[in-house]
Structure 1
Amino acid sequence: MSCIICMPRKPWDLPFFAEPREVAALRHILRLHLDAWHLPEVVDVAQVCVTELVANVITHVGIGTPTTLVVSMNANHLRIEVHDPDTRALPTLVQARLDSEAGRGMTLVDAMADRWGVELRGDRKVTWCEMATGLAEACAHTVRSLTAGVDELLNGYRVKKGLGLAGAESEPLALAAAEEAAIDIIADLLRWMQAHGRDADDVLDRAQTHFEAQAE
């Protein structure tokens, strides 16, 4: 079942240090946000663009550079920005061979994004790219019902724990198994956030705030 909803997609940012080991975490976080925004169709392209924009900072500005990832909507386009403090090292397109190990970063971004550019903002440089989402409007989207997506997520965890699929038990047992799966999901997410330097209590407080706001 699907419906047309207004999906607020508020800009978010994530400060990090530009290091190769951070790229996988950034890609994962980006996927989580885009799935929450119901934009799975742009995940792959967005992840490639983030990888290349961050790699550009690592290569041309330096490992360990304080950097910020900013993701937002610009009308019906997804906008990805990478902020770094070097206003001199400007990304450029180069004619790299297909088998080259270097020099292909911005060429890939140019090929995969609808548009990209560089802005100088006083004490920092912003390298950005945008890709079409196919949305009619910035906040409108056709999505499956929320409960359908939650059911799939819970069933995945229940299979992982050997608890079977929804409908395989009586309703009280099915709900109990779903509750255990939901607790596992929350615990795993909190462990993941904590491993990346986030405060678990703060994450829970923010989740509670979002829950209460959506329930109103």
Structure 2
Amino acid sequence: MQVLQVQLEVRPDPAEVGRARRWARSRLAGSGIEADEPLAETLILLVSELVTNAVVHTGCPAVLRIVLSGRPEAAPATVRLEVADRSECPPRPRHAEGDETNGRGLELVDGLADRWGWQPEGAGKQIWCEIDRGDAKVCGAVVGFEGMAYEAV
């Protein structure tokens, strides 16, 4: 099994959420998950929620990581998204009522991801979620990420 990890540093600015989505979309396409696939849209929504939470609730810089794991001759079997920030405060799932405009982020993550959680990381924490993809081929082609182990932006 091979693992590819890419990461993006995110400033504590709400405009960074859009940049994180664009960056994630390009990295997913480079791994064989095309933008028009339902999986890509789900992952981009999860990126948006996790990065928004980090930017809005901590006011600290954060790091978005995408971790793709699977066999080198196939598209990634599992996609893991991680957002690490410098805040020690654990995430607090909330439930939004009616017309409230906040409080749905972690409910969305819980509903869309196969797994999610958080853990301490350094002086802060990491919130993560995973989606299992299986051994599906992308558009009938076998794709992989052989030779690339890490990229930082």
The two structures have a TM-score, normalised by structure 1, of 0.56
**Structure 1 alignment gaps of length 5 or more:** 1-5, 147-209, 211-216
Show CA shifts across 1:104-135 (max 9, x none).
11111111111110010231210001112232
Match of 2:63 in 1: 68
Determine whether 1:97 maps to 2:97.
Answer: yes
Would the aligned equivalents of 1:84 and 1:126 in 2 still touch at CA under 8 Å? yes
Match of 1:123 in 2: 123
Question: Within 2, Cα distance between the matches of 1:68 and 1:58?
Answer: 10
Determine whether 1:81 maps to 2:82.
Answer: yes
Question: Within 1, Cα distance between the matches of 2:31 and 2:57?
Answer: 32
Show CA shifts across 1:34-87 (max 9, x none).
11111233211111111111111122211xx21101111245210000010111
Rate the CA distance shift 1:85–1:103 in 2: closer, same or farther, 3 A. same
Match of 1:45 in 2: 42
Aligned-partner SS, 2:15:
helix
Higher relative contact order at CA 8 Å, sep ≥6: structure 1 or structure 2?
Answer: 2
Show CA shifts across 1:160-186 (max 9, x none).
xxxxxxxxxxxxxxxxxxxxxxxxxxx
1:51-200 matched pairs, under 5 angstroms: 51-62=48-59, 65-75=60-70, 76-87=77-88, 89-135=89-135, 141-144=137-140
Aligned residue pairs, count: 135
Aligned-partner SS, 1:10:
strand
Structure 1 position 18, deviation (Å): 2.6
Larger helix percent = 1
Question: Within 1, Cα distance between the matches of 2:21 and 2:42?
Answer: 11
Would the aligned equivalents of 1:9 and 1:37 in 2 still touch at CA under 8 Å? no
Identity %: 31
Q: Choose 1 or 2 for highest CA Rg.
A: 1
Match of 1:206 in 2: none
Aligned-partner SS, 1:18:
coil
Aligned-partner SS, 2:90:
coil
Q: Comparing 38-47 with 89-98, which one deviates more in the overlay? A: 89-98
Rate the CA distance shift 1:105–1:142 in 2: closer, same or farther, 3 A. closer
Rate the CA distance shift 1:48–1:98 in 2: closer, same or farther, 3 A. farther
Structure 1 segments, 4+ long, off by >3 Å, are: 141-146
Would the aligned equivalents of 1:96 and 1:104 in 2 still touch at CA under 8 Å? yes
Would the aligned equivalents of 1:78 and 1:131 in 2 still touch at CA under 8 Å? yes
Question: Within 1, Cα distance between the matches of 2:15 and 2:56?
Answer: 14
Aligned-partner SS, 1:32:
helix
Match of 2:14 in 1: 20
